[in-house]
């Protein structure tokens, strides 16, 4: 579904002539948020050691593709391979996230799309306050996106999946919508992409009791070109917090 919406948005946004030109370029897709964006599909605690371990299972929808590259932590373009956040969310064990299935789906639906340049930026356990302008994660995101642009890219979309950490306190919940809006607005402004399509996933789970309240803020964000995909009800892993590999892939089901 996400990839259909992206292609529809782009088709409306660009005249045909312009589209042909842009097809030569690198299509930049930013991935940001916390653990469910970084990807924990296939990660479980090892029964013997208790250490979180990825099972290494990569379904066809997440396989590497010569047309999908990824900006590494040291700002080099490399072929994208799961787990694509391994060197970004480096303190955690990463597994399957939504980035590869999204990129593969876009290319399957539009074989003329060109090269997809994924810019992974998600870090597990991060609150929306850490994604505000001036904070480390925000500045890293802007820096990585600008680097991607300098290599001849065009901003196509940001996929955003965050909020589980903001379900603890009533105060954070009340501030959530304002912080989220400010983050989206500041980012669009700093990237000079005022209509950057943003695909936001509404929470399926949370670390605290205020999941519904954060979901309401997300679903009611009310900004142009922000599309919400609801993850509520998707099967979660054994920790009750993280989307399974199948759930991650179903975010892109038509
Ligand atoms: C792994 O174990 C930790 C500590 O007991 C627990 O908090 C976490 O939810 C477990 N993770 C999974 C994927 O089961």
pLDDT at residue 13, rounded to an integer: 55
Which helix (H) or strand (E) segment holds residue 228: the answer is: strand 226-230
Q: Is the C-beta atom of 178 inside 6 A of ligand 1? A: no
Each residue's pLDDT expressed in tens, for the chain with a length of 254 residues:
677 777 777 765 544 444 444 445 799 999 999 999 999 999 999 999 999 999 999 999 999 999 999 999 999 999 999 999 999 999 999 999 999 999 999 999 998 999 999 999 999 999 999 999 999 999 999 999 999 999 889 999 999 999 999 999 999 999 999 999 999 999 999 999 999 999 999 999 999 999 999 999 999 999 999 999 999 999 999 999 999 999 999 998 75
12 is catalytic: no
In the numeric block, the tokens 């999941």 are attached to 211
Which helix (H) or strand (E) segment holds residue 227: the answer is: strand 226-230
Q: Is the C-beta atom of 108 inside 6 A of ligand 1? A: no
158-185 burial: b if 16+ Cβ within 10 Å, else e: bbbbbbbbbbeeeebbebbbebbeebbe
pLDDT at residue 136, rounded to an integer: 98
CA–CA distance, 66 with 56 (Å, rounded to integer): 20
Task: Give all domains of the chain, ordered by start, each with its CATH number.
Answer: 2-250 (3.40.50.1110)
pLDDT at residue 10, rounded to an integer: 72
pLDDT at residue 20, rounded to an integer: 45
Say if CB 93 and CB 84 are below 8 A apart. Answer: no
pLDDT at residue 12, rounded to an integer: 58
Q: Parallel, antiparallel, or unpaired for β 43-45 and 52-54?
A: antiparallel
Say if CB 92 and CB 242 are below 8 A apart. Answer: no
Provide the 8-state DSSP code for 82. Answer: S
Ligand 1 atom 13, closest CA: 44
pLDDT at residue 16, rounded to an integer: 43
Tokens in use for 142?
């802007």
CA–CA distance, 235 with 220 (Å, rounded to integer): 24
Q: Which of 3, 35, 67, 247 is catalytic?
A: 35
Please confirm whether the linkage preceding 83 is cis (ω < 30° from 0).
yes
Half-sphere exposure of 159 (CA within 13 A, CB side): 31
CA–CA distance, 5 with 99 (Å, rounded to integer): 15
Distance from Cα 173 to the centre of ligand 1, integer Å: 25
Q: Is the C-beta atom of 170 inside 6 A of ligand 1? A: no
pLDDT at residue 1, rounded to an integer: 67
Atom number in ligand 1 closest to CA 238: 14
pLDDT at residue 8, rounded to an integer: 75
239 is catalytic: yes
Q: Is the C-beta atom of 45 inside 6 A of ligand 1? A: yes
Ligand 1 atom 14, closest CA: 239
85 is catalytic: no
Distance from Cα 91 to the centre of ligand 1, integer Å: 15
CA–CA distance, 85 with 122 (Å, rounded to integer): 7
- Quickly count: other Cβ atoms within 10 Å of residue 62's Cβ: 29
Q: Is the C-beta atom of 238 inside 6 A of ligand 1? A: yes
Distance of CA 57 to the CA centre of its chain: 20
pLDDT at residue 26, rounded to an integer: 94
199-225 burial: b if 16+ Cβ within 10 Å, else e: bbbbbbbbbbebbebbbebbeebeeeb
pLDDT at residue 5, rounded to an integer: 73
Half-sphere exposure of 238 (CA within 13 A, CB side): 8
Tokens in use for 154?
């065009």
Q: Is the C-beta atom of 236 inside 6 A of ligand 1? A: no
pLDDT at residue 11, rounded to an integer: 66
């Amino acid at each position: 579904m996400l990839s259909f919406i992206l292609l529809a948005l782009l088709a409306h946004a660009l005249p045909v002539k312009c589209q042909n030109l842009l097809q030569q370029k690198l299509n930049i897709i930013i991935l940001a948020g916390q653990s469910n964006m970084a990807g924990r599909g296939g990660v479980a605690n090892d029964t013997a050691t208790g250490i979180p371990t990825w099972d290494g299972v990569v379904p066809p929808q997440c396989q590497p593709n010569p047309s999908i590259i990824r900006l590494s932590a040291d700002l080099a373009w490399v072929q994208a391979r799961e787990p694509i956040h391994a060197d970004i969310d480096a303190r955690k064990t990463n597994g399957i996230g939504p980035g590869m299935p999204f990129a593969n789906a876009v290319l399957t639906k539009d074989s003329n799309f060109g090269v997809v340049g994924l810019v992974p930026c998600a870090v597990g356990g991060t609150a929306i306050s850490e994604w505000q302008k001036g904070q480390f994660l925000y500045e890293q995101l802007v820096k990585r996106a600008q680097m991607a642009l300098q290599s001849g890219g065009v901003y196509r979309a940001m996929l955003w999946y965050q909020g589980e950490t903001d379900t603890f306190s009533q105060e954070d919940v009340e501030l959530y919508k304002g912080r989220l809006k400010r983050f989206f607005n500041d980012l669009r402004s700093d990237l000079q992409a005022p209509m950057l399509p943003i695909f936001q996933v509404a929470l399926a789970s949370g670390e605290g009791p205020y999941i519904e309240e954060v979901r309401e803020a997300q679903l009611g964000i009310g900004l142009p070109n922000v599309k919400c995909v609801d993850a509520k009800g998707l099967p979660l892993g054994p920790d009750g917090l993280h989307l399974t590999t199948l759930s991650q892939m179903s975010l892109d089901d038509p």
